[in-house]
Structure 1
């Protein structure tokens, strides 16, 4: 990550709307001066003293110029720490005096709507103390993210949650949250698709909300909605309906390529115990029960993107703790939390909680049920919708239906676990029939989404149904990236005229290929051959050698190691003989789908035309157009 050099000793710059307390104590660390104006995070906290310093340091490193934090009923010095941060010129603390009958979060947002710092901000984002912004785009700062957003003429970006679990951590630790918890839910798990919105704020046009702002009714029938352009977390334009309502992503709008919001709702068992037994910012009864833990303790996929911020965040933390007042308050909050934990550990309730959470952690992701606070009432929603929303929604639906049935640009649903796969120990795994093959329900190999499909007999159903129909008769098929051999084995089972040559570079998947073949009684023979050749340092050259040796009629490419540069080298070399059919799918499509248009253009220049009728999110098929084909078309 490039250092955010504006967060360095410098001449103080007073933010618009700052209160009298702001910057009254000289301090060498200064607020970030953003090229995009005043970029403000609004949050609410209650008894977050052990985490305040990290949360502030992280979001200073990310590039917020201003942090406005509302507190209520703190007993651990959280409010005192934020007051001191305001004196140092690095934060704005505000009291959340809650009116009767109002919950703390909406109360704070009502105050924030009229807060001068917020009203005079150029960009505003509302999020909680257990949420940390994680930017993949550019140098990882808001400066580059907002530049890319504005370059598309957009004035907002809708950031989807990524739920991070305990990672199996039980004991309390003083280590940073963003370093302790590096295991998360899969991106495709839609129960974790709540959003928060970073947008250009006008108090006259927008009412602040927890997940997204609400456009004020008086602007619905004007041209203002046409001026609103929000992107998703992958830099793609959000659909029109989201200008008016919605609080979560859907398949058509989800994206994580640019930015995500890491949601650390549970942390360790000990951290959870402390929070459960002191209440929560929104006063929800029994919010932190075992069902909540099962939902939030997701640890299926490692995501260490946050580590890009480690050095600068630690540098900022060290600078903050050089202030003697902040140092004292920070360590007092930690001591208080640890003392409270020591008390809890002496109680039966604590030990019962630990046992309950252990059972909750064992609930597989496929069995999680996330019930909404109340059932969705379509009639009530329709009644609340303004006429302009209805018109725009009907128009958008009509336009979608009128367009050719192009594939939805969705988050690719990966079938296989990423990273190193350890198969050193034998495990007992249930086996399920899928098409003409049998697959083990092995979590080391298959993702949660894939295992759910395996259980229902629908694993890679689109490929399994279509591929045997389109491969040419008597074809020799070279598959690069065979994984566990499922697709090739299935095609060979129902198309005995085909001859398959399978290659898989990942040794664990290649090992599992043997297991799957044995379970499925799919024998290796002269018509079903494993190619034992490594890519080495030059995958393109290795594949060209395989093509020259096998002389395939069909080339199936699914290995994620075949990125755009390798494919360019491979196809530019004009393999001899040229396969009559080429298919791109599987892990290659999942990892490199955004870069495939240039590969498709190269194939077109070599005489290949798109064909075979696959959903483009499942596979891309190409047929070599022979001279005779061209004559037939004239």
Structure 2
């Protein structure tokens, strides 16, 4: 089964190539991305990657009295190719991580969706903190941020979903899909049990098995203030992510190097993508090309 990633992004230039390279290393076949008015070069980069056949991109402007994330998800569901078997709906600060070394994401999900009754699977968060970094530094996100909250951290009850797109009515929120039919399962293959108080998008148990979602919620203080704090929420009206959000999510209790161990492969893939971008005809946006060239050189030393 092929696996695509669906997302809405805004001003994610600094980490976008890494995020795409990461998932390509792990076997993701393609990306369907809505751009919500990026002004930092993200849209130009996505356009170039679209010319390479790596992503499909469209513009998702702000809508009056409505946040853009769920309309973007609806558009993705209704317009995606019928050749796409599975769609993982995640954000650009979320990295799907197989917990069995050497296993690809399509292999894992193909095994779970081999049962025709399964329409969606829920993957719990693993929240990573700032590692004490105040400022943006060189290096990959997965290299720089290697400390996380413990399993029992309440935020980890949140999950993201991988779905058969043709079986989804709509998304209730960015975490939970309303299905036309079929089973919503957890990573153990059991029917998903929602949290009795928090409901849709929040599981009763936190399960770190098979695949989980590494959520780099804050990164460094500088990156948080210039990124997530300014962007706000793409799904919740009037939500400002400020001091309280940073303090709540800046958990650095435990070291986890699983993602960091894949950094060499991700850097190689980033370099390959840069070579392909550089080979595009002259109409390729120079801003994306030159920035990527400089970044890859720094990452590769």
Identify the TM-score tier after normalising by the shorter chain: 0.7 to 0.9
**Of residues 12, 29, 33 in structure 2, which corresponds to 1:65?**
29
Q: CA deviation at 1:232?
A: 1.8
Please report how far the alpha carbon of residue 264 of structure 1 lies from its aligned counterpart in structure 2 after TM superposition.
Answer: 0.8
- Count of matched residue pairs: 282
Shift of 1:289: 1.4
Which of residues 83, 99, 107 is equivalent to 1:136? 99
Find the partner of 2:58 among 94, 97, 100: 94
Question: Shift of residue 91 of structure 1?
Answer: 0.7
Say whether 1:271 aligns with 2:236. no
Alignment of 1:235-274 (within 5 A): 235-239=188-192, 246-251=200-205, 254-274=206-226
CA-CA distance at 1:144 after TM superposition: 2.2
- In the alignment, which of 74, 81, 85 is matched to residue 122 of structure 1? 85
Candidates 269, 273, 278, aligned match of 1:320: 273
Q: Is the counterpart of residue 229 in structure 1 residue 189 in structure 2?
A: no
Corresponding residue of 2:5:
41
- Choose the corresponding residue for 1:201, options 140, 165, 184: 165
| Pair 1:264–1:178, CA change in 2 (3 A) | same
Match in the other structure for 2:258 = 305
Task: Encode CA deviations 1:561-602: one digit per residue, 9 max, x unaligned.
Answer: xxxxxxxxxxxxxxxxxxxxxxxxxxxxxxxxxxxxxxxxxx
Compared with structure 1, are the counterparts of its residues 138 and 314 closer, same or farther at alpha carbon in structure 2 (3 Å cutoff)? same
Check conservation: 1:50, 1:330, Cα contact below 8 A.
no
2:191 alignment partner, SS class:
coil
**Structure whose CA Rg is larger:** 1
Higher strand share: 2
- RMSD of Structure 2 on Structure 1 (CA): 2.5
Structure 2 equivalent of residue 582 of structure 1: none
- Change in CA separation of 1:295 and 1:328 when aligned onto 2, cut-off 3 Å: same
Distance in 2, matches of 1:334 and 1:286, equals 36
> Which ranges in structure 2 are unaligned for 5 or more consecutive residues?
279-283, 295-301
Give ranges in structure 1 of 5+ residues lacking alignment.
1-35, 217-223, 336-634
**CA gap 1:277/1:248 in 2 versus in 1, 3 angstroms:** closer
**TM-score (norm: length of structure 2):** 0.84
TM-score normalised to the size of structure 1?
0.42
Conserved in 2, the CA contact under 8 Å of 1:162 and 1:193? no
Q: 1:293 aligns with which of 246, 260, 263?
A: 246
Question: In the aligned structure 2, how far is the partner of 1:149 from the partner of 1:102?
Answer: 35
- Measured after TM superposition, the shift of residue 143 of structure 1 is 2.5
SS at match of 1:314: helix
Distance 1:299 1:136, change over 3 A: same
Residues of 2 paired with 1:284 and 1:317: CA distance? 35
TM-superposed CA distance for 1:276, in Å, is: 5.3
Contact 2:49 2:55 (C-alpha < 8 Å) held by counterparts: yes
